[in-house]
């Protein structure tokens, strides 16, 4: 039990959580559980979960706690996540954090750390408004910071690049407001529990990654001693 890495990625939309998650899941061989991706897939598949979530997501609002919490607790109990996990996008509210804490405790597990990637609102807005994603491969680009080789087309298979409905300017402002009101209180919540680790998300993706990786490696070492 002690060498489990049970990690949460926290930070505003556009902080680079997805980018870091890709690298960290590779480094530490962890399953990546991203609620945004799970919900978007559910909307695409028109499943019951998707139908419940769609309208909230398009407006940049949070899906109700009861809709998302059960789905996530179930995936943490799956065989895949038995030896650890990297959660992105959950918890997003204090009730979700409490539910997660109770779920883990019931399974005699605990969190290893909460990784906060800090980025100011202005930078978040710049990043999200330029974000484009391939309809087929899911690969993410940025029209200024990481453009595709051919405008509007994915480098991998030339599939079309689109803007996520919730990356439109008016929705970004809403998502940021929701982040500050609902999710930011988790910073203090996890700090009080000694779990919070802060990282400057305005650095390059490689720098942010190096810092996080070093911190996690140290935490794991301490755990094994």
Closer CB to ligand AMP, residue 35 or residue 112?
35
Supply angle C-alpha 64, 39, 75, rounded to 5.
Answer: 90
Please tell me whether residue 90 binds ligand AMP under the rule CB under 6 A: yes
DSSP secondary structure letter of residue 84: E
Q: b/e for 23-58, b at 16 or more Cβ within 10 A?
A: bbbeeeebbbbbbbebbbebbeeeeebbebbbeebe
The CA-to-CA distance between both ends of the chain, in Å, stands at 13
Q: Cite the active site residues.
A: 17, 92, 131, 164, 175
32-34 and 84-88: which strand pairing?
parallel
Burial of 104 (0-12, 13-18, 19+ CB in 10 A): middle
- Tokens of residue 50, six digits: 């998707």
Instruction: Tell me the three state secondary structure of residue 65.
Output: helix
Q: How many residues bind ligand AMP (CB under 6 A)?
A: 17
| Binding of residue 39 to ligand AMP (CB under 6 A) | yes
**Binders in 151-180 for ligand AMP, by CB under 6 A:** 166, 175
The least distance separating ligand AMP from the CB of residue 174, rounded to whole angstroms, comes to: 9
For ligand AMP, the closer CB: 13 or 16: 13
Helix or strand (DSSP H, E) at 70: helix 65-76
Stretch that binds ligand AMP, among 3-11, 31-39, 145-153, 187-195 (CB under 6 A): 31-39
Among residues 45, 44, 56, 53, which one has the least CA distance to residue 71?
53
Residue span 47-86 as binding mask against ligand AMP, x where in contact by CB under 6 A, dash where not: ---------xx--xxxx----x------------------
Does 92 sit near ligand AMP (CB under 6 A)?
yes
Residues 112-151 that bind ligand AMP (CB under 6 A): none
Work out how close the CB of 92 gets to ligand AMP at its nearest, in angstroms, rounded to a whole number.
4
Instruction: Tell me which stretch binds ligand AMP (CB under 6 A): 88-96, 97-105, 140-148, 195-203.
Output: 88-96
Nearer to ligand AMP (CB atom), residue 69 or residue 112: 69
Point out which residues bind ligand AMP (CB under 6 A). 13, 35-36, 39, 56-57, 60-63, 68, 89-90, 92, 96, 166, 175
């Amino acid at each position: 039990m002690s060498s489990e890495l049970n990690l949460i990625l926290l930070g505003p939309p556009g902080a680079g959580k997805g980018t870091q998650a890709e690298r960290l899941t590779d480094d530490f061989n962890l399953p990546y559980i991203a609620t945004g991706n799970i919900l978007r897939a559910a909307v695409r598949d028109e499943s019951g979960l998707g139908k419940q979530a769609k309208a909230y997501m398009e407006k940049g609002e949070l899906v109700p706690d009861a809709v998302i919490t059960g789905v996530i607790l179930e995936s943490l109990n799956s065989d895949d996540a038995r030896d650890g996990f990297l959660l992105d996008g959950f918890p997003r509210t204090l009730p979700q954090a409490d539910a997660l804490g109770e779920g883990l405790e019931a399974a005699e597990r605990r969190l290893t750390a909460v990784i906060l990637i800090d980025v100011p609102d202005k930078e978040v807005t710049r990043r999200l408004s330029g974000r484009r994603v391939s309809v087929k491969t899911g690969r993410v680009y940025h029209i200024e910071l990481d453009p595709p080789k051919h405008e509007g087309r994915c480098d991998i298979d030339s599939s079309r690049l689109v803007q996520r409905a919730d990356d439109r300017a008016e929705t970004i402002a809403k998502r940021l407001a929701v982040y500050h009101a609902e999710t930011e209180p988790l910073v203090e919540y996890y700090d009080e529990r000694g779990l919070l680790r802060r990282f400057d998300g305005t650095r390059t993706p490689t720098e942010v990654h190096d810092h996080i990786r070093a911190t996690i490696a140290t935490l794991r070492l301490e755990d094994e001693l």
